[in-house]
Structure 1
Amino acid sequence: MSYSALIHSDIQKKWIKKLDTVKEQFKEKSDYNDIHSRFPYENIEWLVNEGYTLLTLPKAYGGEGATIEDMVIIQSYLGMIDGPTALSIGWHLSVVGQLYEQQMWEPSMLKMFSDEMKNGALVNRAISEAETGSPTRGARPSTNAVEVDDGFVINGVKTFTSMSKGLTHFIVSAYDNAREQVGYFLIPKETEGVEIADNWNMMGMRATESHDLVLNDVHVSKENFVELRSAVGKKPNGWILHIPSVYLGIAQAARDYAIDFAKAHSPSSIEGTIGDLSTVQQNIGKMESLLLSARHFLWSTAALYTTNDGDTQLWNETAASKILVMNQGLEVIDIAMRIVGAKSLEMDRPLQRYYRDMRAGLHNPPMEDMAYTNIASSVLGLFDKK
């Protein structure tokens, strides 16, 4: 598919053109990184050096000032090239976009961290824990923060810390027993007591190296107590659309592979290629329709964040975007594998990797059951009764 008809801003054109120049370079080690659960260091290094990590930082802080719509379109393209690279860097883009748009930290901390980013800083939230499940379900973290004279001492273990070995900073959730509240602490990677467990061994998104983050008597200053949970999540966060963007890109890559295969594969049992067969054409038509539907829903939701006057809350559209992209994207990949047949299971073909990476997206927020429940509560007016 050509994105030219859908790209309209200068920043979108700029980055898709730049990513085009490294498309094959980024794909070069995708299979190796997947098999060995190796982080795509070279890809991330290029993105940092080119200033991609400043994409969602506002211009007032020296960033590019990309909108949510810009991010979604560019991240969809990067996801098509290499899913783990896109998901990893997407967490940074999303965190930065929300922090600065909603001014979630003190002005001095926002200024300080924007300067850090200009020197290559990469950040992600570390909030999942084995005992609590998804943090979006509201459980209190077992990671604890104890206040001392000159700051806090933090102990705990965080799971699913995407891009763990590439990050320079972690935003860690911890329970402050004295205040009886959950807070977030900005912790530089080099802080004493910070360890990466090196235990990521999942079926999908293997190259994200989302190892456990282990915090052993980690001391942080009082200024690095940057947020309270009560201040987070009061308005829809469009920046979280980076997640379905990546998986839309992976579905697109699966579609592209199946189309190329159908055009070229010519078994001796037929004349021409399998693309001439009506059954294959039916599958291609269905696959394309599903992809078009998912793309336009996601991209139109992202566009609403750009054009919305602020009065309209986009909770339902945001949650539905992820669910729709995941479910239809999985179906797209399933159809692509049916078109390619048994060869789609060969380890030296990317379709089996796309399938495994796509499955991983089901467990990124928002969770499907919570999304449907919240959408239903909104439609039924149940939130007003709480």
Structure 2
Amino acid sequence: MTGMIETWIKNERQERLFQKATAIADEAKKHIQETDQQAAFSPQTLQVIKEEGYPSLALPPQDGGEGLSLYELLLLQEKIAEGDGSVALSIGWHMGTMMELSQEELWEPASYNRLVQEVVSSQKVVNRAATEPSTGSPTRGGIPETTAVKRDGRYVLSGRKSFTSMAEHLDYYIVSAYMEDKDSVGWFMIDRHQPGLSVEQTWDTLGMRGTASHDLVMNEVELNEDDLVELKQEGKPSPKGWLLHIPACYLGIAVAARNDAVAFAKEFQPNSLDKPIAEVPHIQDKIGEMEWKLMQAHAYLYSVARKWDEEPEKRKHMGPDLGAVKLAVTNTANEVVDLAMRIAGGRGLSKTYPFEKYYRDVRAGLHNPPMDDAVVSMLAKHAVSDDQ
């Protein structure tokens, strides 16, 4: 059976890149039970990610990468999520950061080149650490309680960050902090081995446990001035296409649930029937409903990605498109997984089958940014504005 994701591959380049994602997905799937139970990220999966040269793919060719388009990024991220959504979401943050830094030129060349050199040569992995227990999602506009105090020509950081995906396995953390000397928010790049930096194992969630998004704790971490790599941009932030790695992840989970539900329906034949349940009308209705929902979600997600790639002059106006596709795809993914659970019946609740994990994991998409209420409010304001 040809997978639903594979049908969106358009050329040999994409096929070559897709094989890298397939290798990562296959490795991730081997460790699902362990990573889910222990709320841990598999070091073996990370090794395959680095062996495939995945961390550098989003960088432009002149910097040593493959110059992934947004379409290609989503294609690969969705495939990894079919193996394990936690792995896809985790590495997706790194991939998006690489795409953002290379395309938006947020850093000075020296800082950018310092990081890129390590990503290309050693496949180093980074993530932004912005969310805090008290401020919630940074997209809501909260000021970090993490502070950066200037002392003897150096910055001293103290604070705590939550939801730090792959916290124990990142090579660098890009940490937001309130800077007293500048009365502004800055971003600091911190080496994982820096004294005063530690990871507290706090990740105890219902779903996406394998992201191992533990707390990052900074206790008087001393940094040089050149570790300050970015200052908060004033004004309205520009739309960020790379954030579509989020709906791509949850769509991949939904596709995996669909595949397993169809396989289950074709194989399961209770003794009350003379045929598998795949031939029962109400089961076929649910399979058909999964299909059209996934077809719609794929068409919407990848059409917006193509628009981003092919019409760069329109990107600054694509905020509503990006928000709407995230809302639509993540909610559709939840609906598809629910249908898969209904096909599996009571067996879907058993950890013998993968359905209950899909069900737990896909719920997390509703809480990744942008949240549904923020998207709906944005769309309403856009509809009644004079800027259309």
> TM-score scaled by structure 1?
0.96
Q: Spell out the pairing of 1:1-386 with structure 2 (5 A cutoff).
A: 1-21=3-23, 23-118=25-120, 119-230=122-233, 234-312=237-315, 313-381=317-385
- Residues 1:205 and 1:14: Cα distance change in structure 2 (over 3 Å): same
Deviations 1:307-331 (A, max 9, x none): 0141351101111111111111000
Determine the C-alpha separation between the residues in 1 that align with 2:278 and 2:364.
30
Q: Cα distance, 1:45 vs. partner?
A: 1.1
Determine the C-alpha separation between the residues in 2 that align with 1:237 and 1:268.
53
Determine the C-alpha separation between the residues in 2 that align with 1:152 and 1:250.
42
Mapped contact 1:143–1:156 kept (Cα < 8 A): yes
Determine the C-alpha separation between the residues in 2 that align with 1:48 and 1:24.
14
Q: Cα distance, 1:4 vs. partner?
A: 4.0
Q: Secondary structure of 1:174's partner? A: strand
Determine the C-alpha separation between the residues in 2 that align with 1:303 and 1:173.
32
Deviations 1:166-213 (A, max 9, x none): 101111111112221111111111111110011111111111110000
Q: Which amino acid aligns with 1:68?
A: L
- Residues 1:36 and 1:149: Cα distance change in structure 2 (over 3 Å): same
Q: Cα distance, 1:33 vs. partner?
A: 1.2
- What is the number of equivalent residue pairs in this alignment? 384
Further displaced range: 176-185 or 304-313: 304-313
Q: Cα distance, 1:382 vs. partner?
A: 7.4
Q: Which amino acid aligns with 2:342?
A: R
Q: Cα distance, 1:337 vs. partner?
A: 0.4
Deviations 1:138-180 (A, max 9, x none): 0111111111233211110000000101101111111112221
Determine the C-alpha separation between the residues in 2 that align with 1:268 and 1:150.
77
Structure 2 unaligned regions, length at least 5: none
Determine the C-alpha separation between the residues in 2 that align with 1:38 and 1:232.
38
Mapped contact 1:31–1:350 kept (Cα < 8 A): no
Q: Cα distance, 1:58 vs. partner?
A: 1.0
Mapped contact 2:20–2:54 kept (Cα < 8 A): no
Q: Secondary structure of 2:88's partner? A: helix
Structure 1 unaligned regions, length at least 5: none
- Residues 1:233 and 1:299: Cα distance change in structure 2 (over 3 Å): farther
- Residues 1:29 and 1:232: Cα distance change in structure 2 (over 3 Å): farther
Q: Cα distance, 1:23 vs. partner?
A: 4.5
Q: Which amino acid aligns with 1:340?
A: A
Q: Cα distance, 1:381 vs. partner?
A: 1.1
Q: Cα distance, 1:233 vs. partner?
A: 6.1
Q: Cα distance, 1:291 vs. partner?
A: 1.0
Q: Cα distance, 1:383 vs. partner?
A: 7.9
Q: Cα distance, 1:372 vs. partner?
A: 1.2
Q: Cα distance, 1:41 vs. partner?
A: 1.4
> TM-score scaled by structure 2?
0.95
Structure 1 residue runs of 4 or more that deviate by more than 3 Å after TM superposition: 2-5, 18-25
Determine the C-alpha separation between the residues in 2 that align with 1:191 and 1:11.
39
Task: Report percent identity of matched pairs.
Answer: 37
Determine the C-alpha separation between the residues in 1 that align with 2:12 and 2:196.
44
Q: Cα distance, 1:17 vs. partner?
A: 2.4
Q: Secondary structure of 2:173's partner? A: strand
